[in-house]
Structure 1
Amino acid sequence: MNKRLGFVFFTMSLLLFFYVPTADAAFWELTGDTNVHDPTIIKEGNTWYTFSTGPGLQVLRSDNGLHWYRVPQIFLQPLSWWNTYVPEHSENDVWAPDIEYFNGRYWLYYSISTFRSNQSLIGLTSTHSIHSGQWRDDGLVISTASHHNYNAIDPQLTIDANGEPWLAFGSHWTGIKLVKLNASTMKPTGNIYSIANRPNHNGAIEAPTIYYRNGYYYLFASIDSCCQGVNSTYKIIYGRSTNITGPYVDRNGNPMMNGGGTVLDAGNDRWRGPGHQDVYNGIIIRHAYDALDNGNPKLLINDLYWSGGWPSY
């Protein structure tokens, strides 16, 4: 090999050595304990945390984002006040958390409910440091009962372009709702807006995630049926709006208030019923039911790719 060719080869080798693939929405190869349902993710320092549905809110930790292990749950016992709003809830089964960092604290919203009921609540706990393991009970955020036409579960905190906090939530009934939060209490203030619905599909839409990027608010949601293992028909859809309160439309201009939504992920032969997504710092996570492991729900992570102002992976 002559010197010129050797230099080219050496340079290309260096480029390959230092290149970390992030384009084309790379699929993260995860190891360890990845059993989750309804995951949300955040990073504190160099440590990753995923919170998910389960006894007392389940917590996974990772030191590199790839290998995960389980650490102690948030609530060792049910909080006494839960029973006031959801009296049929007798176990320490906590659903669909969302965690975000805002104004110097980590805010962890969660749901208490029972299947096929909208007698539900969204609660809040917070901490100055996840590492500390010290969580403060911030109490009730919002509750619903049988006379309401919406459901107080699946919360998601988002911060708008002006630095103001909002909470998206909702499952079935009349779909996805949005309410502004008081930045001091992190509790609702003002009107509840409707931002997405599926009136011709029994309201089968839930798990909202709003993500702001380049002048648009992107609303991701999950539609159809979860919680049936490999028979789940869950899938992830999205739309966007220039205003956080909507109207949101999909890539074809169909309003999400009238059943619109572009499908982002409908699963594949192995990963069935993907959904309950969370978008965080350029990645998207969700659970899907593993056909190679008796339909157990697992954590999946992808880099999120954007083209022409729309997401894909």
Structure 2
Amino acid sequence: MKKKRSVFWKTSFLTAFLVLTLVPVVSANFWNVSGDTMLHDPSITKEGNTWWAFGTGETNKNGIRVLRSDNGSNWSATPVIFPQPLSWWRNYVPNHETNQWAPDVNYYNGRYWVYYSVSSFGSNNSLIGLTSTNSIASGNWRDDGLVIRSTTSDNFNAIDGDLVIDKNGDPWLSFGSYWSGIKLTKLDRNTMKPTGQIYSIAARPNVSDHAIEAPNITYKDGYYYLFVSFDHCCQGVNSDYKIAYGRSKNITGPYYDKNGVNMLNGGGTILDAGNDRWIGPGHQDVYNNNIIVRHAYDAENNGAPRLLINDLYWDSNGWPRY
């Protein structure tokens, strides 16, 4: 695990409630968001008329952070998922952090599924777990157990799980952080656990620390679009995180960027590298092919991580833009 999530949580979460003012509109397609928008590694969904955003928990506290909004604009914190650690986590990751990382939420077959990561800094001794509910608002989450794990003998890191439903309605899980890059495996429709081989779909072999993670796949008009985060998060205004993408006719790849470079060979067209206000955007999540969320570090608030939401558009050649 190469991320240093605790660096920003220990230093910048102190500013969590100092940043409750309305976010200025940067462009017409940025959503105005206000309230408690402190969130890292966000994933978003909607239940009825209510928006829900899930993210990495606060350092030195338990659980997964959850925000809600009745209008997509004003956000507030709700009780965390896993206020107490699950005992079985330590069977696989004995020295795991108290907070859980990078949750991904999706609705499928009548339930909301949340894949989450349990790990420790600097190690690929990690696991992806699963919890689900038939109503987020109920707060009743079922423990669905272990999905996949990695150990120090593996060449991948089992974190940053992301559920994608293919054109046939079958579920898949992409995951990965650093090491040999981004992986993909098919899931059983009933158990939502792996049922086949692990595919490699993106990597940065020419970058010394192999800085790629946080995959997110969406299907649109005959293509699977793979979004990833390049470079380094979790360093506040010193972060150089950025969002890149490619696409493929097949969910297992190969994925090519706009220049025709295979993402297994380091390809990836940059979608968002931030600006003077919003530094190091990344860990993106595409919702309904017309919304993209991610975190970025607010240069006007000591580098605090904030939830950003944009409308997502597609050009005449089928490439994403916003």
**TM over 0.5: same fold?**
yes
The aligned residue for residue 274 of structure 1 is 281
The aligned residue for residue 293 of structure 2 is 285
Residue 57 (str. 1) matches residue 60 (str. 2): no
Q: Deviations over 1:265-307 (max 9, x none)?
A: 0000010000000000110000000000000000000000100
The aligned residue for residue 189 of structure 2 is 183
Q: Deviations over 1:162-214 (max 9, x none)?
A: 00000000000000000000000000011100000001112210000001000
The aligned residue for residue 105 of structure 1 is 111
The 5 Å alignment of 1:150-165 reads: 150-165=156-171
Q: Does structure 2 retain, via aligned residues, the 8 Å contact 1:25–1:302?
A: no
- Aligned residue identity for 1:287: H
User: Per the alignment, do residues 104 and 302 of structure 1 end up closer, same or farther by CA in structure 2, a change over 3 Å counting?
Assistant: same
Q: Deviations over 1:66-106 (max 9, x none)?
A: 110000001110000001111111x4210000010000110
Q: Secondary structure at the match of 1:92?
A: coil
Residue 238 of structure 1 and its aligned partner are, at CA, apart by: 0.2
Mapped to 2, the partners of 1:115 and 1:289 lie a distance apart of 20
Q: TM-score, normalised by structure 1?
A: 0.91
Q: Deviations over 1:236-284 (max 9, x none)?
A: 0000000000000000000000000000000000100000000001100
Residue 25 of structure 1 and its aligned partner are, at CA, apart by: 6.9
Mapped to 1, the partners of 2:105 and 2:131 lie a distance apart of 10
Q: Does structure 2 retain, via aligned residues, the 8 Å contact 1:25–1:305?
A: no
Q: Secondary structure at the match of 1:93?
A: coil
Mapped to 2, the partners of 1:263 and 1:193 lie a distance apart of 23
The aligned residue for residue 236 of structure 1 is 243
Segments of 4+ moved more than 2 angstroms = none
Q: Which has the larger radius of gyration?
A: 1
Residue 131 of structure 1 and its aligned partner are, at CA, apart by: 1.1
The 5 Å alignment of 1:195-234 reads: 195-201=201-207, 202-234=209-241
- Aligned residue identity for 2:78: V
Q: Does structure 2 retain, via aligned residues, the 8 Å contact 1:248–1:256?
A: yes
- Aligned residue identity for 1:266: A
The aligned residue for residue 31 of structure 2 is 28
Q: TM-score, normalised by structure 2?
A: 0.89
Paired residues in the alignment total 289
The aligned residue for residue 307 of structure 2 is 299
The aligned residue for residue 318 of structure 2 is 309
Residue 247 (str. 1) matches residue 247 (str. 2): no
The aligned residue for residue 48 of structure 2 is 45
The aligned residue for residue 138 of structure 2 is 132
User: Per the alignment, do residues 283 and 88 of structure 1 end up closer, same or farther by CA in structure 2, a change over 3 Å counting?
Assistant: same
Mapped to 2, the partners of 1:25 and 1:49 lie a distance apart of 23
Aligned-residue sequence identity (percent) comes to 69
Residue 123 (str. 1) matches residue 121 (str. 2): no
User: Per the alignment, do residues 25 and 213 of structure 1 end up closer, same or farther by CA in structure 2, a change over 3 Å counting?
Assistant: farther
Q: Deviations over 1:15-52 (max 9, x none)?
A: xxxxxxxxx87110101000000000000000000000
Mapped to 2, the partners of 1:203 and 1:297 lie a distance apart of 23
Q: Deviations over 1:109-138 (max 9, x none)?
A: 000011111000000000011111100000
Mapped to 2, the partners of 1:199 and 1:301 lie a distance apart of 31
Mapped to 1, the partners of 2:89 and 2:107 lie a distance apart of 24
Mapped to 2, the partners of 1:135 and 1:92 lie a distance apart of 18
- From 47, 52, 70, the counterpart of 2:77: 70
Mapped to 2, the partners of 1:215 and 1:25 lie a distance apart of 29
- Aligned residue identity for 1:36: L
The aligned residue for residue 175 of structure 2 is 169
Mapped to 2, the partners of 1:203 and 1:209 lie a distance apart of 18
- Aligned residue identity for 1:311: P
- Aligned residue identity for 2:312: L
- Aligned residue identity for 2:294: R
